[in-house]
Amino acid sequence: MLDLVDLGKRSFSAYRGIAPDEQLDEVLQLAERLRGARVLHLNATPYGGGVSESLRSGVALINDLGLVNEWQIIRGDQAFFQVTKRLHNALQGASQGLSESDKATYLAHSQLNASQIAEGYDFIVVHDPQPAALPMVGGLKGARWVWRCHIDTSNPNPEAWEFLRPFLTAYDAAIFTLPEFIPPRFPISRISIQSPAIDPLSPKNLPLPVDLARLILEWIGVRMDLPLVTQISRFDPWKDPLGVIAAYRRVRAHIPNLQLALVGSLAMDDPEGWDIYREIRDATTGDNLIHIFTNLVGVGNIEVNAFQSLSNVIIQKSIREGFGLVVSEALWKGTPVVAGRAGGIPIQMPEGTGGILVDSVEECAEAVLHLLRHPKEAHSLGEQGREHVRRHFLMPRVLRDYLRLMDKMVHEQPLAPRGLALAEHPSASP
Ligand code: UDP
């Protein structure tokens, strides 16, 4: 068996009064219809990044509604995760594809992992490309398979996409964050568009008393008497941490005592993160107003909460982005955000809500400076952002979307024949 993530118990009724009532009511109705369904979620890492963040909250919560959800982690060595990171980058459009030996490594690990999956699930939800080949190489095991793609695959490297594409024909349904992310000649005919969401009751998003948040940040070395801007994200080229440093330096020409915190986690399936981390360190050594924190020195959920609550501005200067949970996390605390116009970020910050969208280092610097100089406007943007998140990006809405899809698959429409390419499917004709 693969490694099971232990999740504990969580209470769905605790969300009453926080998330919109109509969402909670619909979740309860759908869950009743799906009572007893067994669901397995598979992904590559139990920590680091938005996917594990969402699974940690959502999987436990859905178990409180009478379904039986499990979360398992596929196994892989360093070589496998190097290949899957290359595949991930290539699917997001990077020019480097996969070598023949990369493909062999991917296949060998997929076979090994597939052989560890038990029969008896009604649904198996596979997150992202790392475990995507499992149903094709290991058989369907009597389950309905759903591929949940969290990344932007709108313009994939053609060679990497041609490698992955045949494996996807084994699935019954796919979920994307945005319709634009669906890659060309996509072989799964049932597609659901669902954006991720944050858990307002997780330690990362609970309301943290200001005094406590200040003590936490002071303890780790941030000066609370000076202004602070922060980016929280994996150390990843798509998150553009060096662009953040460049933008910050421009702002600091106007506000010399401004601090920058870069808070980054290094994930098990992300060897590239270590190289970027070193680059960031090299670019910032000797500057005592720039703070770099990682999960390795114990900076975890509570610290992230404190940063998101107390920073004057949160930056998320992504160039490519799946969704960017950190944006909703910051807005939920009423903190204004300056973010790259990428992937799912604009749906979290529609015009005049939450902060300012930017397309370059220069725009990023200007926007940060503007918000620092206009605190009232910044505050009001943050407050509107919070309400937008409450309505659209809290965890019960994700449960609703999942349950709607499962309900359709079970009760309404017969499943599409497996292994049928979209081009050959009758519904694909114009
Ligand atoms: N995160 C964290 N510590 C860090 C960096 C990131 O806890 O040092 C969390 C962050 O709060 C968010 C998730 O990791 O919940 C990142 O999700 P997002 O969708 O923003 O990006 P992804 O990493 O999935 O590309």
Task: Kindly state if the Cβ of 329 falls inside 6 Å of ligand 1.
Answer: yes
Task: Kindly state if the Cβ of 304 falls inside 6 Å of ligand 1.
Answer: yes
The per-residue pLDDT for range 273-323, each reduced to its tens digit, is: 889 999 999 999 999 999 999 988 889 999 999 999 999 999 999 999 999
The Cα–Cα gap between 163 and 1 comes to 27
Mean pLDDT of the chain: 92
Please determine, for residue 424, whether its predicted confidence score (pLDDT) is greater than 90. Answer: no
Task: Kindly state if the Cβ of 314 falls inside 6 Å of ligand 1.
Answer: no
Please determine, for residue 427, whether its predicted confidence score (pLDDT) is greater than 90. Answer: no
* Averaged pLDDT, 331-358: 97
Task: Kindly state if the Cβ of 30 falls inside 6 Å of ligand 1.
Answer: no
The Cα–Cα gap between 310 and 369 comes to 17
The per-residue pLDDT for range 191-235, each reduced to its tens digit, is: 999 999 999 999 999 999 999 999 999 999 999 999 999 999 989
Contact 247, 285 (CB under 8 A): no
Task: Using alpha carbons, select from 39, 44, 46, 36 the residue that is nearest to residue 6.
Answer: 46
Task: Using alpha carbons, select from 127, 126, 164 the residue that is nearest to residue 143.
Answer: 126
The Cα–Cα gap between 332 and 354 comes to 10
Q: Write down the CATH number for the domain with range 210-392.
A: 3.40.50.2000
Rounded to a whole number of angstroms, the distance between the first and last alpha carbons of the chain is: 44
Residue spans of the domains in the chain: they are 3-197+394-424, 210-392
Which residue minimizes the CA distance to atom 6 of ligand 1? 233
**261: how many CB neighbours lie within 10 A of its CB?**
24
Please determine, for residue 412, whether its predicted confidence score (pLDDT) is greater than 90. Answer: no
Task: Kindly state if the Cβ of 323 falls inside 6 Å of ligand 1.
Answer: yes
Question: Matching CATH topology for 3-197+394-424 and 210-392?
Answer: yes
Candidate from 88, 194, 326 with most ligand 1 atoms within 8 A of CB, to mutate: 326
Distance 429 CA to ligand 1 centre (A): 40
Distance 35 CA to ligand 1 centre (A): 32
pLDDT for 46: 86
The Cα–Cα gap between 70 and 59 comes to 7
The Cα–Cα gap between 224 and 217 comes to 8
Task: Kindly state if the Cβ of 54 falls inside 6 Å of ligand 1.
Answer: no
pLDDT for 183: 97
pLDDT for 421: 37
Element (H, E) at 189: none
Fold of the domain built from segment(s) 3-197+394-424: Rossmann fold (3.40.50)
The per-residue pLDDT for range 101-141, each reduced to its tens digit, is: 999 999 999 999 999 999 989 999 999 999 999 999 999 99
- Give percent of the chain with pLDDT exceeding 90: 84
Task: Using alpha carbons, select from 359, 357, 345 the residue that is nearest to residue 388.
Answer: 345
Please determine, for residue 367, whether its predicted confidence score (pLDDT) is greater than 70. Answer: yes
Q: Any idea which of 53-57, 101-105, 343-347, 350-354 has the lowest mean pLDDT?
A: 53-57
Q: What does DSSP assign to residue 258?
A: -
